[in-house]
Structure 1
Amino acid sequence: MRTSTAPSRGFPGMGANAPLLPPSNPSVPQPPAAPAGPVRKSGDTWWERLRFEVTDAVTSGALSERLIRASSAVEAPITTGRRIVVLGTAGGAGTTTVTALLARLLGSIRQEPVIAVDATDHYGSLLQYLGAAHSTPLTALMQQFRTQPVRILPDAVSNAAACGNQVFATGRSDVPALADAPIALQEWTDVSSTLSRFMSVTVVDGGSSPLSRHAAALLATAHAVVLVSPPGNPEASKAASIRDSLAKEFPDVQQVPVVVRSRQNHDLATAGDAFPFDRHLAEGGTLQLRRLGFRSRIAATELTGKALMAANRA
């Protein structure tokens, strides 16, 4: 006989109860109300949603139970602030999408302060994906940490954009190219250690040059790296080679590989688990967890749990 199990608290769109929200803190910047705009697609078509419901019913709620277990992994206790760097094996692999998903899910399920950092070598889309109302240069945050005392959470996020659910974001929109201004090791060490004093997790979009000097600076203080690659045999070989190189240079950084499917390569064979193609994510723009497809929701939550557990082992 199938029994109903309540989903883990705080996961948007699951169950009849509204997600629990952290108490309002007037001293911490709050995101402005989102302007009205076109309704974005759900990640699943109506046929896919029906198929999911039928499959879940036939398997006695196995898929729902899988989501609940994944959410529990995201809620697991952690030690000090964890730092997770997301790197891609190629441009367009999905590093920014994965970074935004990790930050959104951590902030929604754990309901503790989380910061997402766009540390790519160009003007990225991370802040847009997270719904930030304005650009917040990472250089301004670094300058603040060098020149002003940082004693409480509002100090740490005064130069970051509030994105809701205790998620904050900052980026490198003022840096035109990696060759012009790569992040220095000592500079990043100082800022990442300061963020970890106030944030449960710092999630960093490191771009698509995993073996560069820029990525090395980010990985020097990381607890875990999520390595994102497209499907296909050539990409799998490339990803394996990169993982070997990173393991030799950063043996203490735990690795979490993920293959992200796109509209063009959603049917290519992959080794191991892959993140499914999702219409909502493919549209770009602000990420809304409630619009994720059911399988995307499970995959994203499982990936977030794996990344957090890996970071906690470091």
Structure 2
Amino acid sequence: MADQPRTGFPIGRPDTEAQAPQEPSQTTQRSSSPGGFPGMTPAANQTAVRSAAAPAHANVPAPAPIPRHAPPPSTPAAAARPEKSRRNGGDSLWERVRFEVTDAITSGALSERLIRGCAAVEAPITTGRRVVVLGTAGGAGTTTVTAVLAKLLGSIRQEPIMALDATDQAGDLLRYLGAPAPAAMSALIRNFQTRPVRSLPEATTNAAACGNQVFAADRHDVPAVADSPINPREWTDVSSTLSRFMAVTLVDAGNAPLSRHAAALLETAHAVVLVTPPGDHAPAKLASIQATLTGAFPQVQQLEVTVRSRDSQERRLADRVLPFDRHLAGGGALQLSRLGSRTRIAATEIAGMALLAANRA
């Protein structure tokens, strides 16, 4: 039976086949001369052809054999890639050592906090919970908190989670979540209004899949103007539909807690996470916002969270405080494996508190 032509990946060594053209004997006697396979010696006729091609009087030493597994000269050193990932990690080497020593001295107290936080995140829920993230000042970190909560809830609960960037001006939520493509919330709303939604694939048709059962959409198609609130009636229909399929719906509402836009989002919320900047964040202003929300939305449970900046020198873990993290500050796609140890503990505790507050509503 005649040999069939082979397809797929080449089986020859790239360092030898790329330098010299294939000899006729290799094509005519392929079945009996396995010279193209790594680790095999060339056939006798191939050796004879190479010997005859060289002059007899040329007393030139043969070139040193190229190591079979050595990288090509143009290939960058592989050791540089782990260094880059360590630089992008949330903890430096000193911080990792300090965490391990502290955890050992305190008999695993830090690890115990992480276990308790995960147990709170895994708490059973009745129907889909809706949590709105509001900032009390510009640059407080609402998008960071929303992305971290969505990733943690999706990875620990392993249930569908929806994260919506409902800010007046489109933010970076989809980029933080690692969305592969843009996803307009207007298309999501239009889909719910024009066709019945009976399954999770139908509910997420116009959403971006971000891994770990996390889906996302934003308002990137909305003009960036100060007064562009979401229609309360439309939002009521959307939030109720999402709650049928999503364990938790997280909404990044931006930094306008007393606006009509935030009021429409809070109308159907179970809990609100108030994100405050570090340091002196005007306690009087925060108390005023909390009082206003309590009077207008008494059914919504409130949780205050502080996001520390690079300038903060405080390193200890505190309740409802998200410490500064180099990976989060990088602005790229969020990867939980690169979060700092203390950041992971604090974020897990905050996610558990937010879910507990939403369950009380």
- TM-score bucket of the superposed structures, by smaller chain: 0.7 to 0.9
Name the stretch that deviates more: 39-48 or 166-175: 39-48
- Change over 3 Å in CA distance of 1:220–1:208 after alignment to 2: same
Secondary structure in 1 matching 2:244: helix
Corresponding letter in the other structure for 1:134: A
TM-superposition CA deviations, 1:232-280 (whole Å, max 9, x none): 2343332222111111111110001001101134559999642111111
The amino acid that maps onto 1:104 is K
Letter in 1 for 2:165: D
Which shifted more, 196-205 or 268-277? 268-277
Letter in 2 for 1:159: N
Give the partner amino acid of 1:135.
P
**Deviation readout 1:64-123 (Å, 9 max, x if unpaired):** 011000000000101100000000011110000000011000000000000000000112
Report what 2:254 is aligned to. Answer: 207
Q: Provide the rounded CA distance (Å) in 1 between the counterparts of 2:316 and 2:98.
A: 22
Alignment of 1:1-314 (within 5 A): 39=85, 41-179=88-226, 181-267=228-314, 273-314=320-361
2:255 maps to a residue whose letter is S
* Per-residue deviation, 1:182: 1.5
Supply the distance in 1 between the matched residues of 2:266 and 2:320 (Cα, whole angstroms).
24
Are the counterparts in 2 of residues 192 and 221 from structure 1 also a CA contact under 8 Å? yes
Q: Provide the rounded CA distance (Å) in 1 between the counterparts of 2:99 and 2:293.
A: 38
Q: 1:101 to 1:269 in 2, by over 3 A?
A: closer
Structure 2 vs 1, CA of residues 145 and 104 (structure 1 numbering), >3 Å: closer, same or farther?
same
Give ranges in structure 1 of 5+ residues lacking alignment.
Answer: 1-35
- The number of residues matched between the two structures is 279
Cα distance in 2 between the residues matched to 1:41 and 1:271: 24
Distance 2:279 2:104 in 1: 33
Point out the structure with max Rg over C-alpha.
Answer: 2
Structure 2: segments with no counterpart, 5+ residues: 1-80
| Contact 1:232/1:269 (8 A) holds in 2 | no
Q: Is the 8 A contact 1:232 1:268 kept in 2?
A: no
> How far apart, in 2, do the equivalents of 1:201 and 1:271 lie?
25
AA of the residue aligned to 1:132: A
Single out whichever of 225-234 and 251-260 deviates more from structure 2. 225-234
Question: Secondary structure in 2 aligned to 1:233?
Answer: coil
For 2:114 and 2:312, locate their aligned partners in 1 and report how far apart those are by CA, in whole Å. Answer: 25
CA distance in 2, matches of 1:300, 1:269: 14
Q: Alignment partner of 2:282: what SS?
A: helix
Larger relative contact order (Cα-Cα within 8 Å, sequence gap ≥ 6)? 1
User: For residues 89 and 284 of structure 2, what CA distance do their matches in structure 1 show?
Assistant: 33
Q: What corresponds to 1:8 in structure 2?
A: none
CA RMSD of aligned residues (A): 2.0
Aligned equivalent of 2:34: none
Given that residues 116 and 170 in structure 1 are in contact (C-alpha distance below 8 angstroms), is that contact kept between their aligned partners in structure 2?
A: yes
Q: Percent of aligned pairs with the same residue?
A: 68
